[in-house]
Amino acid sequence: MSKLCININDLFNLSGAELYNANLIGDYKSISIDSRKIEKGALFIAIQGKKFNGHKFVESAVNSGASAIIINKKQIKNFINLKLPIITVPNTTLALGELASYWRSKLKAKVICITGSVGKTTTKDILISLLKEKYRVTGTSLNNNNHIGVPLTIFSAKQNDDFLVLEIGRAA
């Protein structure tokens, strides 16, 4: 089975979301925060952090095939002329987490979270290796265990996975 599909109506549940260009709505089979890794038809979320601003890459994401974007409300004036659905939210990082929570609620997989101060990545890797001998498993890659990486791992889970193994760091 494939990844889950997010419909534009699902995005209305994001806190403080407003939709522009609603006549162009569709379904999104992938979500990306990296304009260099956009799949055609993806939903691009412009994450804004202390050292980076995803809004600088919106046009690149659109040119690479993004079919909708989630941006900060304050940025709408910069992108209002784009001919695709635009969802504005007060905080794109929180929206990423909210979407992941929604996505997680649709999965049938049992979730195993690995936490702690030392040995999380090794423990997670061993557990995934053991589970994969008998089950369909998605798990955190490398040590993407923060408030950005955990949602991205959840988005990579497939509908028919038996287990979702998440490494959760202190900052997540």
Whole-angstrom distance, CA of residue 29 vs CA of residue 7: 9
Whole-angstrom distance, CA of residue 116 vs CA of residue 114: 7
User: What is the number of other CB atoms lying within 10 angstroms of the CB of residue 10?
Assistant: 16
Tokens of 143: 């040590």
| Sequence-distant (≥ 6) Cβ neighbours of residue 126 within 8 angstroms | none
Whole-angstrom distance, CA of residue 145 vs CA of residue 167: 5
Contact between 162 and 140 (Cβ < 8 Å): no
pLDDT for 8: 65
Single out the residue of 137, 111, 139, 112 nearest to residue 125, CA to CA: 139
User: How far does Cα 160 stand from its chain's mean position?
Assistant: 18
Whole-angstrom distance, CA of residue 42 vs CA of residue 31: 6
**Block mean pLDDT (10 aa), the chain, length 172:** 60 81 77 92 92 95 94 96 94 93 91 93 96 96 88 92 94 60
pLDDT for 172: 57
Contact between 83 and 108 (Cβ < 8 Å): no
pLDDT for 49: 85
User: What is the number of other CB atoms lying within 10 angstroms of the CB of residue 112?
Assistant: 16
pLDDT for 27: 77
Tokens of 95: 């929206």
| 3-state class (DSSP) for residue 22 | helix
pLDDT for 2: 43
Identify any residues that bridge with 53 across adjacent strands, giving them in sequence order. Answer: 48
pLDDT for 1: 34
Rounded to the nearest 5°, which phi and psi values hold at 112?
-120, 125
pLDDT for 171: 64
